[in-house]
Amino acid sequence: MFHQGPQNSQGQSLPLPKALTILTVPSMSIARKILSNTAIQVTGKLITAVLSIVIIKYITSLETIPSLSGLPAEYKLIYTYLMFFGILADFGLFTIAVREMSQSQSDEETHNILSNIFGMRLMTIVLAMGMASLFVFLIPFENYTDQVKLGVAIAAITTVFTMLTSTTSSILQVRLKMWVPTISLVIGKIIMATYIIYTVTYFQTIENAFYHLIGAGILGTFVSFCITFSYTKTLIPFSPKFEKEYWKKILKEALPYGLAIILGTIYLKVDILFLSVMRPKEEIALYGYPASMIELLLILPIYFMNSTLPTLSRAFKNNQEQIKKIFSLAFNFLYTMALPMTIGGIILARPLMALITNDAFLTGNTASTYGADFAFQVLLIPCAIAYLTTLLSFTIIASGNQGKLLKINIIAVLFNIIANLILIPTYGFPAAAITTLASELLLFSITLWESKKYADLYFDWSTLIKISLGGAIMGVFVYISQSTIPTIPLIGIAALIYVTSLIPLGVINKEMISYIKK
């Protein structure tokens, strides 16, 4: 299930955009620092996304070994299960910490805030992971094997280090020094990927090799934590504090964000959890790994709209006509990004999934009627819709009516849960994919209806038709050439054809280029 908005401290999409953003016009020097800080984070995200794909490739390769069939599904299930307990520890504390430290008047006050937030996060994450590790041993369902249960208890350590790293990096976000946690994240991911590659390569000669895969995550996140924690201590020496009254104040303020994070996680992962208790183990992998790829694609609109939000918010205060122009340009740009991704991805789903996973996961090679390529094809459509829903959600937040989004997302989550409970037991992961599509259509429709209450939205249908024509030209080329040109070069050529076709159509013009630069 996919919906766009800001992210929590673990990088997961949330259904509720940041309501705490201070929308001011920064000076040029601060603006450059913000741009540099954002660019570093985006670069880090791209690098870790590539490394994540490499990890998926190696993990899923174990499916081709008869005696190891099902291990990729168990690996996926462990981290999906832990995510539901991780939200209890997150609860919006990262966002609150950034806001509180941004508004602090002295280093002493900042020190006190960071120390208390770190203490709160330490306690909540240890309690949450303890609950997760104990509760999993009570689950009676077949897919929760002894290996999965022990794996959860071990992998919980990874979640602890991940969330403590995000807490210590909150002050670096305030000081615009995110290059440190970004580099630490990349280093940790490289270590994790290297360890996993080694383990998979020699899997059958390593004793308890499956737990080495989980240990790779622990090692990588531990290194990331050590680097970030050590650097942060040089800026502001801190240690965990446990001040009861301050904790009460922060938890009360974090409540809306905690609810948003819970909704976001349910929205993203509940279908995989339902598959784990209602369907054969292999369906967790057939659906879960394509879903992970879609989540990587959803990074782009988040960063784009985070950059657009201040300008859009100022327009709501000062110039209603400007809202139309900004909305139209943003909609065109997001549609321009989403369309080729969807068309090309649907056509090339089989070779792409073969590259990212392996042939054992494809339609015709599995015990299920459909394979990971089918799941990827279906999920690309709600992914594209989510690009546009992101703009509508940020339009609502820019108007100052962000509280409406929580109600909207509750409706979408309830629909998603009920539909999955009805359909998954009989129809399996294809039903989960179709439910995701239906849920995203519902969310888009309600969000569009709500956003029209606050702004006179303008859709440039002439430009949208031209973009669609460019997408069709690219799609025809990809369809004709898919059997003669290797997949990776074909993607590059198709992208070039798409962009080139948009220039004479007048889509890529000075106005759009100027908007993107701003």
In tens, the pLDDT along 73-120 reads 999 999 999 988 887 777 666 666 666 666 666 777 777 777 887 888
Inform me whether the pLDDT recorded for 1 exceeds 60. Answer: no
Residue type, 387: Y
Q: Write the DSSP assignment of 186-242 as a string of letters.
A: HHHHHHHHHHHHHHHHTGGGSTTHHHHHHHHHHHHHHHHHHHHHHHHHHHS------
Angle at 375 between CA 343 and CA 147, to 5 degrees: 145
17 pLDDT tier (thresholds 50, 70, 90): very low
Other beta carbons less than 10 A from residue 353's beta carbon: 27
Which residues are CB-contacts of 216 (< 8 A; sequence separation ≥ 6)?
A: 191, 192, 193, 195, 196, 199
Quote the pLDDT of residue 97: 66
Q: How far apart are CA 440 and CA 341, in angstroms?
A: 17
Inform me whether the pLDDT recorded for 23 exceeds 70. Answer: no
Task: Express each pLDDT in 319-348 by its tens digit.
Answer: 778 888 888 888 998 999 999 999 999 999
Question: Is residue 7 classed as helix, strand or coil in its secondary structure?
Answer: strand
Inform me whether the pLDDT recorded for 416 exceeds 60. Answer: yes
Lowest mean per-residue pLDDT among 113-122, 347-356, 363-372: 113-122
Distance of CA 270 to the CA centre of its chain: 15
Quote the pLDDT of residue 10: 45
Inform me whether the pLDDT recorded for 289 exceeds 50. Answer: yes
DSSP state of 137: G
What's the chain's average pLDDT?
A: 84
- For the record, the structure tokens of 355 come out as 């590259």
Q: List, in sequence order, every residue forming a beta bridge with 7; answer none if it has no partner.
A: 13
501 by Cβ neighbours in 10 Å (0-12 / 13-18 / 19+) ranks as: buried
Cβ(338)–Cβ(388) under 8 Å?
yes
Inform me whether the pLDDT recorded for 514 exceeds 70. Answer: no
DSSP state of 506: T
Inform me whether the pLDDT recorded for 243 exceeds 90. Answer: no
